[in-house]
Amino acid sequence: MTTKDKVLLGMLVFVPICFATQWLHLHPVIVFLASGLAIVPLAARIANSTEEIAAVIGPSLGGLLNATFGNATEMIIAIVALQAGLVDVVKASITGTIIANLLLALGAAITLGGLRFKEQNFQPTVARINASSLNLALVVLLTPTAIDFTSKGLEPATINNFSAVASVLLLLFYVLSLLFSIKTHKYVYEVETTEVEEIDTTHQKEPLWKPIIILLVCTVVLVFVSDILVESLEKAIKTLGLSELFTGVILIPLFGGAVEYITAATFAIKNKMDLAVSVAMGSSLQIAMFVAPILVLVGQFMGQPMNLEFNPFEVLTVAIAVVITNSISTDGSSNWLEGALLLITYAVLGTAFYFHP
């Protein structure tokens, strides 16, 4: 068991602490922090269980399973918040997760890997495909804002209807991208597949029922923990004097994505940059192409209409993250200075969200 696994296992203590803080009606900030920290090890267990199941059922079904449950933590938190009527916080967490994965996770991975290895390489074809897919996601995020800006007396239903259609189209492209990577152009991803098999050989000896039970139990517990997090969220925001925008864009993605950030950095330090880039950029694509569209459609059924019209400043920051990430990733090589560039950009945007009224 690695040091990372031991730390994450030890952090499971925050799960009962989280329930205790709510039961004892402690200060909302304490409840918020305890529930946030409890999410981290649960997310790790869900990710590990998904990988173990994927290793047993084979690369095709395994790839589909990883693609579906890759951002289960973020989706569960978002659905619970959506049910509570915190639509703006949900939207902010979507853009925040995309920004954090592209700038913080990838930046940390490239920096730490670059400090150990002078220059690291990864598949330029995969990076180029990811970059193009991110451009599509950006187009979809920009369009509702552009429609609203260029129209007068626009009915809210217009944006809602556009968002529903755009969500279906994004999901269609997501399915096509899975077909591309798992079936028709599997050879393009062969380097990643080899490394994943090398890492997950120990999982193949595990009986299948164990990771399935862990996955189900952790998912159920995560729903209750997310409910506590969301319930304490508004009171904690007021107490700390933070805006919903800053909390949704910066704080919530840190809890939900901490495991992915650590994983990407670990791969980079081991000079497995294909996997590091895949974790960081792939997670952003899953949020934009799968999680966001699902939330729009789920919101329609829940009576909490959510559309793809985001705060213009959020859209601007996503555009900045996509442009900078694409500019340094399409050549298939990286160094520590490029990683520092991404981290500084994230710090600048985080500061901007903090001071944003």
Burial class (CB in 10 A: 0-12, 13-18, 19+), 351: exposed
Q: Which residues, 6+ apart, have CB-to-CB distance to 191 below 8 Å? A: 123, 274
Q: 89-136 pLDDT, tens per residue?
A: 899 999 999 999 999 999 999 999 999 988 998 888 888 888 899 999
- Assign domain 3-355 to a CATH class: mainly alpha
Q: 229-282 pLDDT, tens per residue?
A: 988 888 888 888 888 889 889 988 888 888 888 888 888 998 988 888 888 888
- pTM for the whole structure: 0.86
Residue position matching structure tokens 């260029």? 150
User: Which is nearest to 36 in space by CA: 93, 88, 86?
Assistant: 93
Task: Please report which confidence band the pLDDT of residue 58 belongs to, taking 50, 70 and 90 as the band edges.
Answer: low
Q: Which residues, 6+ apart, have CB-to-CB distance to 63 below 8 Å? A: 54, 178, 181, 182
pLDDT of residue 264: 87
Task: Give Cα 316 distance to the centre of its chain.
Answer: 19
What integer is the mean pLDDT of 197-220? 70
Measured CA to CA, the distance from residue 253 to residue 318 in angstroms comes to 14
Task: Domain ranges for the chain, please list them.
Answer: 3-355
Other C-beta atoms lying within 10 Å of the C-beta of residue 321: 26
pLDDT of residue 203: 47
Provide the sign of the torsion angle of the four alpha carbons 24, 30, 35, 37, taken in this order.
negative
> DSSP E strands: which ranges in 99-243?
120-121
